[in-house]
Amino acid sequence: MKTNVVALLAFFCSFNSQAYSNFIENPHKLYPPGCATLLDLQTILYGDNAVKVFDGEIELLRAPKSLASLPANLAVYRVGCADGNRSLVLFEFSIPDRLDPASTYYRVPRVDAIDTVDGYDTWTTLRLLRDPSDWGGTGFARSDEIFGGNSEGTTDGHDRTWVFVLDNAFYPYPNIFAGHISPSTYNDSFQLWIETAPAGWGITVTIDPTASLLAANPRIPLNGRLSGNWVAEGATDQGFVIAISELVPNSVPAPAELQDSPLLMFLSWYTYDTNGHKLWLTGSSQFVMGETEITIPIEKVTHGEFMGSKTADRSVVGSVTITANNCNDLTLQYNLSDIGLGSGTEHLQRLFSLETAGYVCRDLEARMAAK
């Protein structure tokens, strides 16, 4: 199974799942932004943390607007997320070997989540997203939309496999109603009804609970949800500001170009020197999407000018290495021996709650304990 899952997770290599679109508010998103990682790191960090829950050949309506059908292989997976007890449900459609990929077009099947509450079934149409970092406003949900056929980026110009993330549909306009299921339902046991040909027919697939299938991922990739104010326990009146973003080119790029933009972490450290005088340390470094650790050269900033144009003096005085353990916990290893502050390791915690796409990184108890 591991070989198939690793091939499936190559899907994430095509998309910037870490920082892009992380800060668009969508309270109905079914998985936290930045929780999907890349092919190589998925296996290194988490092992084979994915489970196939369905695998079989189904008939889908041929596109466009045809009542004829075509066979397709469908595999459904739960894939481990970087947040505990969270996951992504993936659909992998592939063309059987006997078909020509250049002339094979499918109509997107309708997919409904069936949630049973107090003996009654609630049906909610879900959306097939092509990008896990998509905020939910695009993707496929209607049976008149198509996928397949010619595609760029393959050796012969044709794809044979397409992978989609299952998520709630999201409409940013208040006058448009879109039903949704909750993240707790998505990560618990529920059923999916998947439309097949002839039109209106379908199959039911049972999705088992995340917690019973997947192990907790020990670390998370660096992503935009880690931006914010951080403090070290016991270090009063001092702290850190961390920002993670893309380095966007000067020209306005197309969304596809943003996926290849370099990623950057910026650190500003407000502390004191050996004499108790205020000390401002900064640093930044680029990193590759999916990495969980970064080393940043640290500069001491002095002799600036209040609200002026004078450039402050900077000198490299050490380095820090930051590791992302979870959304609320970073490990900071520092070496500032050149300015007499030695070296050590600290755990950083959030100073304030952060919410991105409806996911809060600190609960009420954690915030109260930090006061």
3-state secondary structure 253-298: CCHHHHCCCCEEEEEEEEEECCCCCEEEEEEEEEECCCCCEEEEEE
What pLDDT is recorded for position 254? Answer: 47
Angle between helices 39-46 and 2-9 (to 10 degrees): 130
Look up residue 283 and give its two tokens: 């640093």
**What is the rounded distance in angstroms from the CA atom of residue 278 to the CA atom of residue 199?**
70
What is the number of alpha carbons within 13 Å of residue 314 lying toward its C-beta?
11
**What is the rounded distance in angstroms from the CA atom of residue 195 to the CA atom of residue 88?**
20
What pLDDT is recorded for position 329? Answer: 86
| Domain map (residue ranges) of the chain | 2-213, 224-369
**What is the rounded distance in angstroms from the CA atom of residue 211 to the CA atom of residue 216?**
8
Q: What is the pTM of this model?
A: 0.72
**What is the rounded distance in angstroms from the CA atom of residue 332 to the CA atom of residue 324?**
9
What pLDDT is recorded for position 138? Answer: 61
What pLDDT is recorded for position 327? Answer: 81
As a three-state string, the secondary structure of the chain is CHHHHHHHHHHHHHCCCCCCCCCCCCCCCCCCCCCCCCHHHHHHHHCCCEEEEEEEEEEEEECCCCCCEEEEEEEEEEEECCCCCCEEEEEEEECCCCCCHHHCEEECCCEEEEEEECCEEEEEEEEEECCCCCCCCCCECCCCCEEECECCCCCCCECCEEEEEEEECCCCCCCCCCCCCCHHHHCCCEEEEEEECCCCEEEEEEECCHHHHCCCCCCCCCCHHHCEEEEECCCCCCEEEEEEEECCCCCCCCHHHHCCCCEEEEEEEEEECCCCCEEEEEEEEEECCCCCEEEEEEEEEECCCCCCCCCCEEEEEEEEEEEEEECCEEEEEEECHHHCCCEEEEEEEECCCCEECCEECCCHHHHHHCC
What pLDDT is recorded for position 137? Answer: 56
> CA Rg, the chain, in Å?
24
What is the number of alpha carbons within 13 Å of residue 347 lying toward its C-beta?
7
**What is the rounded distance in angstroms from the CA atom of residue 286 to the CA atom of residue 263?**
6
- pLDDT by position in tens, the chain (length 371): 444 544 444 434 333 333 333 444 566 778 877 776 544 555 665 667 788 999 999 999 888 878 889 999 999 998 887 777 888 898 989 999 888 888 888 988 999 999 877 778 888 889 888 767 665 556 676 666 788 875 443 445 567 888 888 988 765 544 445 678 888 899 999 999 999 988 789 999 999 998 888 876 677 778 888 888 999 988 989 999 999 887 655 555 444 444 556 789 999 999 999 999 999 999 999 987 778 899 999 999 999 888 988 888 999 999 999 998 878 889 999 999 999 999 999 999 888 777 666 666 754 444 333 33
**What is the rounded distance in angstroms from the CA atom of residue 132 to the CA atom of residue 137?**
12
CA 198 to chain centroid, in Å, comes to: 35
What pLDDT is recorded for position 21? Answer: 38
What's at 313, amino acid-wise?
A: D
What pLDDT is recorded for position 369? Answer: 39
Q: Which residues have a Cβ under 8 Å from the Cβ of 159 and sit 6 or more positions away?
A: 101, 148, 151
